[in-house]
């Protein structure tokens, strides 16, 4: 695979084998045969310190009217976006006359905060299932991918924007060259681009290999973001670690010279260097750690089954697709998966075809074990599930097996 920025040919470091598309929950058993698989493997571009997957299906196949992920279903995330808004406000990154743009606005959970405070805003998202929900609450949304073409349309209609925000969407965009060119078109001279994503250092530390799936083309680090944006006259000037999605990082970007680089950024960059995030060998070790963890997970689940105990899956997350398919976990191990998203109910998990049931099936008849596929929402879930755990029920996940 050629890197779209440096043109360098990247050789794979580790493969998770044949993988289906993460959010491709299947409605009919007769469609199992038609399922699309690709080789999920990662590589590391040493020139720009960028961790990426090598092969990925075209995003039009999954970011469309069927996309089943809605931010607003998690109270914790809704709360997180209110705090994100307040933090940008405190930093004076926008004012009452500003125009704010969100890349990957999903159901509008973030933009609602700007709307509530009468700040003009616009979302861009190709997943119509989610953007329809945003439009229903009166938000202005363009149902499309954010790229140079869309940016030109936005610029022609609204002019430059003071602030571009994003959360968990930039890693979905394969062509970073096009993304940054699009930002260049719409961002004002003094404006900031602020986005947050799953953080590479957290993934390496936790061996949370399930962060890797077709929608996450990149897992970013500060070093990588700094190098990539510098190529286009932009500058990473601040960062802020976040606890969301199992450990994320918020990146603050401006045009070269528009803002002062913070001490906090310098400190976190040093931590990354100490942890060798810029070294190829780190990712070879990570691949080996994934293999070790895979075998631990399988053994743990097999032992529970041999003891005649029941295991269900908690949260039909996109991440669970990598766990189930890489670790060869099927219906003989996990009876079913419960999820609170109606759009996923009665469908089958990608690849291993475990059925997704409404959440009530969990409460109705507690199993002995629940595999916490939504481990990134652990705090919220443990509070909600006190009855399960106080009755002796146990949550398990690969994160705790590490
Ligand atoms: P995410 O890890 O990509 O945020 O996806 C979370 C999934 O887990 C989503 O399908 C909703 C589901 N979920 C539950 O079923 N119960 C819960 O309490 C939470 C927080 C999420």
Task: State in Å: Cα 347 to ligand 1 middle.
Answer: 16
For ligand 1, pick from 337, 342, 374, 399 the residue to mutate: most ligand atoms within 8 Å of CB: 374
CA of 124 to the centre of ligand 1 (A): 23
Which tens digits make up the pLDDT trace of 211-255? 999 999 999 999 999 999 999 999 999 999 999 999 999 999 999
Q: Is residue 4 over pLDDT 70?
A: no
* Ligand 1 neighbours (beta carbon < 6 A): 73-74, 315-318, 339-341, 359, 374, 376-377, 380-381, 384
Q: What percent of the chain has pLDDT over 90?
A: 91
Residue 401: the pLDDT is: 79
Q: How far is the CA of 395 from the centre of ligand 1 (A)?
A: 15
Instruction: For 284-313, write each residue's pLDDT tens digit.
Output: 999 999 999 999 999 999 999 999 999 999
Q: What is the pLDDT of residues 357-385, one digit of tens each?
A: 999 999 999 999 999 999 999 988 999 99
Residue 318 CA, ligand 1 centroid: distance in Å = 9
Q: Among the atoms of ligand 1, which is closest to the Cα of residue 318?
A: 3
Q: How many helices (H) and strands (E) does the chain have?
A: 14, 16
Higher pLDDT, 10 or 149: 149
Task: Give the three-state DSSP class for 99.
Answer: strand
For residues 161-187, give the mean pLDDT.
96
| 64-109 pLDDT, tens digit each | 788 878 899 888 899 999 999 999 999 999 999 999 999 999 999 9
C-alpha of residue 58 to centroid of ligand 1, in Å: 24
Q: Which is the closest atom of ligand 1 to the Cα of 381?
A: 18
- The number of the ligand 1 atom at minimal distance from the alpha carbon of 74 is 20
Backbone angles phi, psi at 141, to 5 degrees: -130, 140
Per-residue pLDDT of 156-169, as tens digits, reads 999 999 999 999 99
- Ligand 1 centre distance from Cα of residue 79 (Å): 15
DSSP string, 9-71: BPPPSEEEEEEE-TT--BS-GGGGGG--EEEEEEEEETTTTEEEES----GGGTSSTT----G
The conformational region for residue 215 under phi > 0 = left, psi -120 to 50 = alpha, else beta, is alpha
Instruction: Give the SS3 label for residue 235.
Output: strand
Using CA atoms, how far apart are residues 343 and 23, in angstroms rounded to an integer? Answer: 11
Q: How far is the CA of 4 from the centre of ligand 1 (A)?
A: 32
CB 372 within 8 A of CB 315: yes
Give CA 21 to chain center in angstroms.
Answer: 14
Q: What is the mean pLDDT of the chain?
A: 95
Which helix (H) or strand (E) segment holds residue 251: the answer is strand 248-255
Predicted local confidence at residue 5, as pLDDT: 72
Of all protein residues, the one whose alpha carbon is nearest to atom 8 of ligand 1 is 315
Instruction: Report whether pLDDT(2) > 70.
Output: no
């Amino acid at each position: 695979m050629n890197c779209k920025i440096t043109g360098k040919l990247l050789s794979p470091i580790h493969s998770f084998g044949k993988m289906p598309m993460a959010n491709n929950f299947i409605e009919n058993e007769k469609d199992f045969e038609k399922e699309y698989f690709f080789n999920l493997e990662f590589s590391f571009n040493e020139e720009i310190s960028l961790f990426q997957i090598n092969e990925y299906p075209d995003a039009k196949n999954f970011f469309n009217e069927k996309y089943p992920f809605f931010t607003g279903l998690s109270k914790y995330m809704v709360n997180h976006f209110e705090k994100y808004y307040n933090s940008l406000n405190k930093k004076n990154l926008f004012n009452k006359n500003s125009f704010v743009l969100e890349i990957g606005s999903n159901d509008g959970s973030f933009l609602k905060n700007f709307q509530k405070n009468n700040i003009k805003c616009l979302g861009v998202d190709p997943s119509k299932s989610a953007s329809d929900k945003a439009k229903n609450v009166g938000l202005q949304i363009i149902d499309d991918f954010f790229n140079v073409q869309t940016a030109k349309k936005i610029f022609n209609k609204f002019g430059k924007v003071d602030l571009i925000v994003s959360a968990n969407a930039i890693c979905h965009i394969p062509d970073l060259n096009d993304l940054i060119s699009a930002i260049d078109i719409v961002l004002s001279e003094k404006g900031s681009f602020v986005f947050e994503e799953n953080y590479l250092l957290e993934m390496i530390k936790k061996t949370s290999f399930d962060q890797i799936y077709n929608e996450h083309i990149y897992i970013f680090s500060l070093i990588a973001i700094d190098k990539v944006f510098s190529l286009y006259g932009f500058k990473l000037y601040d960062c802020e670690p976040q606890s969301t999605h199992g450990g994320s990082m918020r990146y603050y970007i401006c045009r070269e010279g528009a803002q002062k680089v913070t001490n906090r950024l310098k400190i976190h960059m040093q931590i990354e260097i100490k942890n060798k995030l810029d070294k190829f060998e780190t990712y070879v070790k990570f691949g080996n750690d994934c293999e070790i963890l895979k075998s631990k997970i399988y053994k743990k689940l097999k032992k529970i089954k041999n003891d005649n105990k029941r295991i269900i899956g908690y949260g039909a997350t996109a991440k669970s697709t990598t766990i189930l398919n890489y670790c060869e976990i099927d219906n003989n191990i996990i009876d079913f998966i419960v999820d609170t998203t109606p759009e996923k109910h009665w469908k089958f998990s990608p690849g291993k075809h475990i059925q997704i049931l409404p959440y009530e099936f969990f409460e109705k008849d507690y199993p002995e074990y629940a595999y916490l596929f939504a481990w990134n929402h652990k705090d919220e879930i443990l509070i909600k599930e006190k009855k399960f755990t106080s009755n002796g029920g146990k949550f398990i996940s690969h994160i705790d097996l590490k």
